[in-house]
Chains A and B, each alone.
Chain A
Amino acid sequence: MLIIEDAIKEAQEAIVKCDENKAVAIAKQAIDAGLDLVKLLNDGFSAGIRIVGDKFGRGEIFLPELILSAEVMKKVTEILETAIVSDSAKEKKAVILIATVEGDVHDIGKGIVVSLLKTQGFEVVDIGRDVPVDKIIEKAIEVNADIIGTSALLTTTLVEQQKLEEELRARGLRDRFKTIVGGAPCTERWAKKIGADAYGEDASDAVVKCLKLLEK
């Protein structure tokens, strides 16, 4: 008989090893055994994804593996969510709108952040690079975003993040969205200075900060 502790351990392993068959099997066995599926999702599969994120940050696994793990996660999440009567796991999800600011065409880092956010169940609306503040706000309203994330690689484009904060305040929308900023020249101090809600040092940190924003 499968017990929750073993299921959690195996779920983590399946995610870290990108093993879809094993992950799906564990999910189905857990449903049949009547285990706590929310716990399995959060402490097993989601924890596995956090391990993957950490390994990625240390250069121990790479983007393709990260993506594969995310795909496995997506599959088991679908299976488990169908079976979960309680909606508690779903409540954690949020919509995040993400963009590289106007004047800046760098999007490698943003792409990694998008991949990692998806692994954590966020619905990510990536509106690309070189995006003006007006369009970011317009789209955030349209998709009813919970969080707006902006990336800037250049010191010259960093000010666009400040412009976004100012524009949100000017339009009376500041309390409607949480904001997170990132990118090479961006720092915690910059985030505080412009009034952003969070700063992501790297992709893994950005995900952790987004999850924390949801708790606020």
Chain B
Amino acid sequence: MSKFFTRMGDGSAVFLSEAEIRRDLEEGMLDAADRGKIPELTDDEMERLYQIITDPQKTVSIERGNEVVMTFDAGTLKLPVRAGLPVDRMTTVLTHERVLCSDTMEIGNADYSYKQLKNIVHEEAASMEFTQLNCIIPVFYGAMPNLGLYTKPDGPVDNWSELLPMAKIGEARAAQEEAIEMAVKDMVYIASILYEAGADGINFDTVGASGDGDFLATLKAIEILKSKYPDMAIEVGMAGEFVLGMHGQLEYDGTRLAGLYPHEQVKVVEKAGGTIFGAVINTNSSKSLPWNLARAVTFSKACSEASNIPVHVNAGMGVGGIPLTNTSPTDATSRVSKSLIEIGKADGL
């Protein structure tokens, strides 16, 4: 029986038979449908996924006319940090514009958290101004809400990661509520200065990494920013496929945030005033690419169908079905990109 080259979620090569690939596609798709309580993919879509996975070409591409817009998180950290190229941020942005043909780009600091930027925000603003003078594509400014940085020893608030294991639930919740207010203030402060310095948009990246409080702080900051700057483009990229309930009872406009999956997350982001939603679907490193891809596509399709704003699915290291490796293998990345766009209905990546 012939076998097809594919990968595991940790990037290792594996050869699977048609039956094994179809089984993994089915199981991955059903896992997403079950967890998210969302519709399953159709038989035609599953067949298409099978064709994409087993395409003999090393890399695949979308059909002409299906091109989508690309946005980036930690944009200016990718070439210098991930790829180890000794280039400054301006060069990174221009390389993306003039060599890689990126549609947009993002400037971010090595201390990629809003709280950490307060001391250097005016230098960041100057960088944004110079970059805008030199490039054509829209340039976002991005960082993470990173609510954990407000806890001891990095911040003034009691550490809920220490309080929770001690069953001090009330104290842990109160600490998170206190941190939310501080984070909102910092995010609005930084985003306002960078927007006024010329940023075409603001990116809130890895939202929810510290749980539902992290997500709520971002939504509140977006509300304020949209009232100050109604035309501001705001991208919200999530940290994981469901919102971790570190608090568990936080709500936004009557919706409990903990446990929301992408098709539900996008609705609250939309309500707060977000203009692009970066859905995240986690890659399971112990499962195959077919399993992870079918799962990611199922979540992506449901999210895109529920949304009234563009959905840019995160497609990178360990998310969106892409294997968890420092440098993503293009055979997998291209298959994931094509599937998310053509079956998962992603508006962008």
Same complex:
yes
Q: Which residue of B is nearest A55, CB measured? A: B259
| A201-B169 CB under 8 A given contacts A62-B246, A63-B245, A187-B324 | no
Most buried by B among A59, A71, A115: A59
Q: Is A185 an interface residue (CB 8 A)?
A: yes
Q: Complex: how many Å from CA A188 to CA B286?
A: 7
| A185-B324 CB under 8 A given contacts A61-B245, A63-B246, A64-B248 | yes
B28-67 Cβ-contact flags toward A at 8 Å (1 or 0): 0000000100000000000000000000000000000000
Nearest CB of chain B from residue A15's CB, rounded to whole Å: 15
Residues of B within 8 A of A111 (CB): 161-162, 164-165
| A118-B245 CB under 8 A given contacts A187-B285, A189-B12 | no
Q: Is A81 an interface residue (CB 8 A)?
A: no
Q: DSSP class of B's interface residues: helix, strand, loop or mixed?
A: loop
| A60-B286 CB under 8 A given contacts A65-B248, A118-B165 | no
Q: Is A68 an interface residue (CB 8 A)?
A: yes
Pick the residue among B162, B172, B285 that contacts A201 (CB under 8 A).
B285
| A115-B245 CB under 8 A given contacts A59-B261, A201-B286 | no
Q: Is A108 an interface residue (CB 8 A)?
A: yes
Q: Complex: how many Å from CA A60 to CA B167?
A: 20
Count of inter-chain pairs, beta carbons less than 8 A: 85
Residues of B within 8 A of A58 (CB): 35, 242
Residues of B within 8 A of A60 (CB): 259
Q: Is A70 an interface residue (CB 8 A)?
A: yes
Q: Check B285–A188 contact: CB distance below 8 A.
A: yes
Q: Check A107–B10 contact: CB distance below 8 A.
A: no
Q: Check B258–A68 contact: CB distance below 8 A.
A: no
| A64-B173 CB under 8 A given contacts A108-B148, A188-B10, A201-B284 | yes
Q: Check A63–B244 contact: CB distance below 8 A.
A: yes
Q: Check A114–B165 contact: CB distance below 8 A.
A: yes
| A187-B162 CB under 8 A given contacts A62-B259, A201-B284 | no
| A108-B161 CB under 8 A given contacts A187-B324, A188-B10 | yes
Q: Complex: how many Å from CA A89 to CA B143?
A: 49
Q: Is A88 an interface residue (CB 8 A)?
A: no
Interface residues of A, CB < 8 Å — how many?
28
Q: Check A59–B10 contact: CB distance below 8 A.
A: no
Q: Is B128 an interface residue (CB 8 A)?
A: no
Nearest CB of chain A from residue B95's CB, rounded to whole Å: 23
Residues of B within 8 A of A21 (CB): none
Q: Which residue of B is nearest A70, CB measured? A: B167
Q: Complex: how many Å from CA A55 to CA B212?
A: 17
Residues of A within 8 A of B35 (CB): 58-59
Q: Which residue of A is nearest B257, CB measured? A: A62
Q: Complex: how many Å from CA A155 to CA B317?
A: 12
Pick the residue among B169, B210, B245, B247 that contacts A108 (CB under 8 A).
B210
Q: Is A126 an interface residue (CB 8 A)?
A: yes
Q: Complex: how many Å from CA A211 to CA B337?
A: 38
Q: Complex: how many Å from CA A87 to CA B5?
A: 51
Interface residues of B in 111-152 (CB under 8 A from A): 148
Q: List A residues at the B interface (Cβ < 8 Å).
A: 58-65, 67-68, 70-71, 105, 107-108, 111, 114-115, 118, 126, 155, 184-185, 187-190, 201
List 5 tightest A-B contacts by C-beta distance, closest first.
Answer: A62-B245, A59-B242, A62-B248, A187-B10, A111-B161
Q: List 7 A-B contacts (CB under 8 A).
A: A58-B35, A59-B258, A62-B258, A63-B246, A65-B248, A71-B167, A188-B10
